[in-house]
Amino acid sequence: MTVDAVPSPVRPSSGVQLAVYPGSFDPIHNGHVDIILRGARLFDRIVVALLRNAEKVPLFSIEERIDLMREVFRSQPNVEIDAFDGLLVDYARQKHASVIVRGLRAVSDFEFEFQLALMNRRLSPEIETVFMMPAEPYTYTSSRLIKEVFALGGVVSGLVPETVERRLREKRAGGT
């Protein structure tokens, strides 16, 4: 193996190291927030990119999720909230991102994340996937479980930002 076999990462002429953190975020929980804040410390800018056309029926519309996330990160100037369609690597290239960030909670995440990262590498070798671990209290937190626990009357305080908890309550009260 030679060093030439590893493609150089994309470095925009500005020298700004930009990372994309993609996902469904339906809704964003504190494990996501933890990863985003870690990413914001590590990279010059982190773009949190919501997938627009996921097949599953979401609880929160894409606009609701964007609004919620912008509220959560309003005091973080190097965190950008955006949405994308199509291939993640095309979006990352368009943003001049050199890194894709994904969170790894437990071994159970690994298989899917491994496939995703290697497929993305095949599609766009110059973009690196970087895995980050959330703080320990969030290693079992997922959007799916948050929705299920909340729908069944369980308490999700401390697992989601307050603004998300409030919107969950409003949704339940309004039936929307």
Active site residues: 32, 56, 105, 143
Q: Are strands 45-51 and 18-23 parallel, antiparallel or unpaired?
A: parallel
Q: How far is the CB of 90 from ligand PNS (least distance, A)?
A: 8
Q: Is 83 in the site for ligand PNS (CB under 6 A)?
A: no
Residue from 87, 135, 149, 151 in contact with ligand PNS (CB under 6 A)? 87
Residue from 10, 35, 48, 51 in contact with ligand PNS (CB under 6 A)? 51
Give me the sign of the Cα torsion angle 32, 35, 41, 44: negative
Q: Is 6 in the site for ligand PNS (CB under 6 A)?
A: no
Return d(Cα 56, Cα 151) in angstroms, integer.
18
Q: Is 119 in the site for ligand PNS (CB under 6 A)?
A: yes
Amino acid letter for position 75: S
Q: How far is the CB of 152 from ligand PNS (least distance, A)?
A: 22
Structure tokens at 74: 């309003």
> What Cα–Cα distance (Å) separates residue 10 from each residue in 19, 36, 99?
11, 21, 9
- In 3D, which of 22, 30, 24, 10 has the Cα closest to residue 146? 30
Residue from 10, 19, 22, 161 in contact with ligand PNS (CB under 6 A)? 22
Q: Is 110 in the site for ligand PNS (CB under 6 A)?
A: no
Residues of this chain that interact with ligand PNS (CB under 6 A) are 22-24, 51, 87-88, 116, 119-120
